[in-house]
Amino acid sequence: MSFDAEAKMQLLFALRSRGVTETQVLEAMEKIDRGAFVTGYFAERAYEDMPLPIACGQTISQPSVVGLMTQALKVSARDKVLEVGTGSGYQAAVLSQLARRVYTVDRHRRLVAAARRVFETLDLANITAFTADGSHGLADQAPFDRIIVTAAAEDPPGPLLAQLRIGGIMVLPVGQSDAVQRLIRVTRTEAGFDYDELRPVRFVPLVEGLARDS
């Protein structure tokens, strides 16, 4: 077996052992090659279960965290999903295998441009990526069946709650950016919002406004 094939198999094993057990999520992660989203110095570590640095001082999330968040989101094939925090595009690509349509936004124009190129190369035609401040959501495309935020805010941003369809689910890390944060799941009901706490996580902060270097 080639080095890459062996490394990919070990990654799938690591995902399972860390609680990513749903077949559809594992299949999506088997299909989407994380190696396509990590370039440069860290490329050879693409199949390790750890976060890695990407451009603009940001990170591609740890694969098992991507898997657990995707699982917690309970995506179905008819869903329109919003991701805040495109980063490398890896999470959006995994979601594209499970959802009807994925909108993803990042405040760094450079990251969005790079992610779009990868989506095109991999022929992931149901993802649309925009440069935008995702803390305002994406009013033009709302409401969303599912929202995932991959940067930490102190509280769930109001516009994102407002853009969640009734019955919809949002998964996001909350807490101070320099401390351990909590991953939570918010479900919108007829009456309001239900909150579940999932696990401790660590994400880069959700920052307001477009990046100046982008």
In the complex, the residues that contact ligand SAH under the rule CB under 6 A are 58-61, 84-85, 87-88, 90-91, 105-108, 111, 133-135, 150-151, 204, 206-208
Beta bridge partners of 83: 104, 148
**Residue 58, φ and ψ in degrees, nearest 5:** -105, -175
CB 197 → ligand SAH: shortest distance, Å? 21
Of residues 117 and 189, the one with the C-beta less far from ligand SAH: 117
Q: Going by C-beta distance under 8 Å and a sequence separation of 6 or more, which residues neighbour residue 6?
A: none
| 3-class secondary structure, 60 | strand
CB 89 → ligand SAH: shortest distance, Å? 6
Distance between CA atoms of residues 31 and 98, nearest Å? 11
CB 37 → ligand SAH: shortest distance, Å? 6
* Distant-in-sequence contacts of 175-180, Cβ < 8 A, 24+ apart: 176/152, 177/152, 177/203, 177/204, 177/205
CA distances from 69 to 40, 51, 161, 199 (A): 26, 14, 18, 10
Tell me which of 61, 64, 88, 135 is the catalytic residue. Answer: 61
For this structure, is 61 an active site residue?
yes
Of residues 1 and 118, the one with the C-beta less far from ligand SAH: 118
Distance between CA atoms of residues 4 and 191, nearest Å? 49
CB 211 → ligand SAH: shortest distance, Å? 7
Of residues 194 and 203, the one with the C-beta less far from ligand SAH: 203
Of residues 84 and 186, the one with the C-beta less far from ligand SAH: 84
Active site members: 61
